[in-house]
Each structure stands twice: as structure tokens, then as C-alpha cells.
């Protein structure tokens, strides 16, 4: 049977978008909420995947992000500020947009959540209760 299962994740994180023209250029934080969805065939035990396996696939990254300040390679000033004060940071290869965070989570989840029964993995990251970004890996793509 084809079925879609999901696991919700939450973390707190500060960030800023230095290039941005609007309010996002300021250092601020979000209570992030992400949903990881896995679509595939159920196994003999009636599961697409154990919820625990999704949590374990995403967990290490979420732990690194939680109560950190995400910084991009261009933000030398903020990196120096955090380093000098011994504050937790998470260095990204690109800007800390919801899109890029979703992509990073998808990469991490797909390293563990894979196999012939899995057809699609979807990660939706909400920065606020009205703003979200979603990325999808599909076997058919
Ligand atoms: Zn923001």
C-alpha cells in the first residue's frame, strides 16, 4: 500500500540576511517548525518507515541548529562577534533562508531515509506561522 507519513521537528534559531533590503537584514530569531514527509510502500510490518528513523535522520542537524545563530559565508562581521563571545553558531554554505534550511534538512534526511520502497521525501520549513518553504526529492525526478 502507498502511504505518506510525517514527522514534525522544532527548533529555535537566530539569523539574518545581510543582503536583504527589508527587515530580514536585522539579526532576529524564529521558532522554526519543519515537517518531514515520506511517501512510499508499506513493508510487511505495515510501515513506510519508523517515525523514530525520521527523527534520528534529522535529529543531529536539528540539535546543531537549535539555539544557534545561523550565519552565511559573507557575514564575517557576525561570525567574528559570535566567535569572540563563544556563542553557538551554525555556518551554512549559503544564506540562511527557509529554502536553504529546508534543502539542508532534505539532504540529511535522504542520507538515511532511502531504499526501494521510498518514492518521495518532502521537507517543509516554516519560519513563521504564515511563511514556509518546501523542497522535494522524488524517485521519479
Ligand atoms: Zn528570519
Give tens-digit pLDDT for 27-68. Answer: 999 999 999 999 999 999 999 999 999 999 999 999 999 999
Q: pLDDT at position 122, please? A: 98
Residue 69 domain boundaries: 2-19+27-138
Give tens-digit pLDDT for 89-110. Answer: 999 999 999 999 999 999 999 9
CA 29 to centroid of ligand 1, rounded, Å? 6
The full DSSP string for 42-90 is: --TTS-SS-HHHHHHHHHHHHHHHTTEEEE-TT-HHHHHHHHHTT--EE
CA 98 to centroid of ligand 1, rounded, Å? 8
Give the Cα separation of 68 and 79 in Å (integer): 12
Q: How many domains does the chain have?
A: 1
88, 13 contact by CB (below 8 A): no
- By CB atoms closer than 10 A (0-12, 13-18, 19+), residue 13 is buried
CATH number, domain of 86, equals: 3.30.479.10
CA 47 to centroid of ligand 1, rounded, Å? 36
Amino acid at each position: 500500500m502507498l502511504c505518506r507519513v510525517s514527522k514534525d521537528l522544532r527548533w529555535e534559531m537566530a539569523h539574518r540576511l545581510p543582503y536583504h533590503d527589508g527587515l530580514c537584514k536585522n539579526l532576529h530569531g524564529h521558532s522554526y517548525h519543519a515537517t518531514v514527509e515520506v511517501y512510499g510502500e508499506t513493508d510487511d510490518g505495515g510501515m513506510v518507515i519508523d517515525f523514530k528513523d525520521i527523527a534520528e535522520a534529522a535529529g543531529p542537524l536539528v540539535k546543531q541548529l537549535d539555539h544557534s545563530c545561523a550565519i552565511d559565508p559573507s557575514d564575517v562581521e557576525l561570525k567574528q562577534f559570535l566567535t569572540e563571545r563563544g556563542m553557538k553558531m551554525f555556518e551554512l554554505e549559503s544564506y540562511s533562508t527557509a529554502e536553504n534550511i529546508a534543502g539542508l534538512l532534505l539532504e540529511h534526511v535522504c542520507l538515511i531515509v532511502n531504499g526501494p520502497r521510498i518514492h518521495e521525501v518532502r521537507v517543509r520549513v516554516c519560519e513563521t506561522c504564515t511563511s514556509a518553504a518546501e523542497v522535494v526529492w522524488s524517485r521519479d525526478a
